[in-house]
Amino acid sequence: MFVLVNLKAYPCDPVAVAEAAHDVAGSSGVRIAVAPQAADLAAVAETGVETWAQHVSPNEHGSHTGSTLAERAAAAGAEGTLLNHSEKRMTLADIDASLDAAERADLETCVCGNTPAQIGAVAALGPDSVAVEPPELIGGDVSVASADPDIVTDAVAAAEAVDDDIDVYCGAGISTGDDLDAADDLGASGVLLASGVAKADDPKAALEDLVSPLA
């Protein structure tokens, strides 16, 4: 199972969370990555934790003010990138262009979708992985694996119908070991979470609880 912690724009200490994630990954053997703000990529990568960008733009070098170039994210230490999160939606054309940019920069990719139908559509673009995240459950206390297990199994089926090598992750409301266990049982290869770690009083303890079923 893969655990990707999205720090969004929460007022947490990204380096402290990254150090906690690095420690827990080392002690548990679970693959854990952290996705900080673009400005914090280098500082987070320096902790040794696997580091992801929250987004890369569908652009090459040029006159694109405000863009996050995949090449610059990689140079700062990113190893992968999220795309099309519910809070950073993209057109299919832009997702496709960002996937091309990520490939040029040798970044692993995970494209998010709200429904199994969306998962099937974005899987057809050829990312390394996809993640199903119903927006109404994001940031809440109830995980998608508990509230709507069918959406996870249907998302897995939709992705496998396109390419059975694409990993499927689930997100929205993930915060505990029980949530991770449920996601695993439903066929997911990993989980995305944010507030469960980024807003926790003790991020290391939160991560230790999360990965406890795998330790």
Q: Catalytic site residues? A: 85, 133
6 is in an annotated binding site: yes
Torsion angles phi and psi, residue 62, rounded to 5 = 155, -160
7 is in an annotated binding site: yes
- With contact defined as beta carbons under 8 Å apart, do 136 and 166 qualify? no
173 is in an annotated binding site: yes
69 is in an annotated binding site: no
Conformation bin of residue 126: beta by default, left when phi > 0, alpha when psi is -120 to 50:
left
Q: Alpha-carbon distance 157 to 36, whole Å?
A: 30
Q: Alpha-carbon distance 70 to 6, whole Å?
A: 17
- Please state, as a whole number, how many other Cβ atoms lie within 10 Å of the Cβ of residue 123: 22
* DSSP code at position 88: S
3 three-state secondary structure: strand
194 is in an annotated binding site: yes
Torsion angles phi and psi, residue 69, rounded to 5 = -70, 135
Conformation bin of residue 96: beta by default, left when phi > 0, alpha when psi is -120 to 50:
alpha
Q: Per the annotation, where are the binding residues for substrate?
A: 6-8, 138, 173, 194-195
